[in-house]
Amino acid sequence: MVTDGVVPPAGEGGLLAVHAHPDDETLSTGALLATWAAAGRPVTVVTCTRGEQGEVIGSRLAHLEGDGPALAAHREGELADALEALGVGEHTFLDALRAPPAAGGRTRYADSGMAWAGVARAAAAEHLPDGAFVGVDVDAAAGDLARLIRRRRPDVVVGYEPGGGYGHPDHVQAHRVMQRALDLAQLDVTGTARTGDEPWRVPVVLWSVLPVEELRVGLAAMSSFAAPGLRLPDPAGPVPACAVPGAEVDVRVDVRPVASAVVGAMRAHATQIQAVRVVDEVARTPGAGTAAIDPAGLVLGSRALSDGVLQPVLAAEAYRYAHGWQPRPVAWPAGVTAVRWPA
């Protein structure tokens, strides 16, 4: 693991993922991370906050909700377990990349919180905590991330699209910081770049998306995963900001070869993710069958967040190339397919 801003030397063919909170790495990019790691390539995850404002699922750990330091410490442990399940070898919190001031410790970036603004949509919380990530100076945070990018020299950087996946303010801020860092990483801002810290242009930048057609098939399949205390989604209802037409997907990742890793990582985030079940488990129940649940083979399973609404785990992750960033050829590991490549 990367700790206290100490970064290991650059590897070849690496992947770097930027996420807002513990659990986002698994929910948005779990299969990509696990596939990259399984191929023996370097994988680094950067988490911007510790999720102090998260809603806690279940009664056993309900006392953590509202206790920012305690929940942060617990979620750090969940994150470590999830990264182990995915095979990720290197992790850092974004604020750990900051040089500590002459006196006192580093300023920690705090989870900004959110409010549900409808199905699959989040909005800003009414009150922001001290040190909220949404208030962080973008250039300062991006400068720290840019130094990591120059040191790691990854082939691919992955994060959220401009809407932050589903509108969470920290996700939107993470997108801004990542995009700015990509620009800064190409510059030698001091004119004194050391060996191993030279400017670096990342060949491929990916934004995590959901093919809307497959998402709606998955939403319809959730009726087979119904359970007490959970609500079924409306297959024809609103979709998150990251939902795009399937024809606009550029890169796909087959989740099935790494399904056990992804499911294990989801289950590691027990305070944030519930109802993690796969099609094969549900198909064993009387009267159920895999073909009846998912005739098209597009759904791997189910999961739900603190809102209690079942959501599909699709059998493929999808990504778009970042707008305005011309990709350059990279060697994709088995299980990752570039379905479109710019002319």
Q: Tens digit of pLDDT for each residue in 163-204?
A: 998 889 999 999 999 999 999 999 976 554 555 679 999 999
Which CATH code for domain 15-209+319-338? Answer: 3.40.50.10320
Provide mean pLDDT across the span 40-50: 98
| Amino acid at residue number 26 | T
pLDDT of the residue at 4:
44
Q: H or E segment at 74?
A: helix 68-86
The model's pLDDT over 24-42, given as tens digits with 9 standing for 90+, comes to: 999 999 999 999 999 999 9
The total number of residues shown for the chain amounts to 343
Strands (E), 136-293: 156-160, 204-211, 243-244, 251-254, 274-278
Predicted TM-score of the model (pTM): 0.92
Short-list 322, 9, 26, CA closest to 176: 322
Short-list 270, 309, 307, 310, CA closest to 71: 270
Residue ranges per domain, the chain? 15-209+319-338, 210-316
